[in-house]
Structure 1
Amino acid sequence: MASDRFCLTCGVPLESDDIALYMKLISRMDRRFVCLDCLGRRLNCERDTLEKLIAYYRQSGRCVLFR
C-alpha cells in the first residue's frame, strides 16, 4: 500500500522513523501515519522533542521499531 508512506494530514513523504515513532506513541495497529510535524501538533510538542525521542530509542537498542 503506497498511501501508508505519506502523511495522512499533509501528504508529505514519510521516513521510517516517522512511522516507527507514530507506532510507538500512538498505535501499532494503525496503517496510516502522520509526519513528525503533524504528530508534534497532535501531541502539543516541538519537532525537536520528537527527534530526540527517536535518537533515544535508537541508542537504547531496546525498541524493535527503531532497529
Structure 2
Amino acid sequence: MLATIESNPSESGRPESVFVSWLLWQPREADLPIEALKELSKLARYADRDPDIVRLRSLFATLAGQTGRPH
C-alpha cells in the first residue's frame, strides 16, 4: 500500500471531506445529533483560528440542530 503526502497539509482534509468521513465511521445505531455535539465540544478550543475549522464546526452544528442550513 502506498502512502501519499500532501505538499500543503491544510488542503488534505477539506471540512466537507472530514465531515463525510466522520459520518461514514459512525455506528448504525448512533444518535448523530448527539455525536455531532460531542465533536463541537472537541472543536470549541480552536475557536475561529482557521476558516476550515469554522466550516467544519458549522457542519456539525447543522447536524446537531443548532443552526439553519449550511452556507
TM-score by length of 2: 0.30
Larger radius of gyration: 2
Using CA pairs under 8 Å that are at least 6 residues apart, name the structure with larger relative contact order, 1 or 2.
2
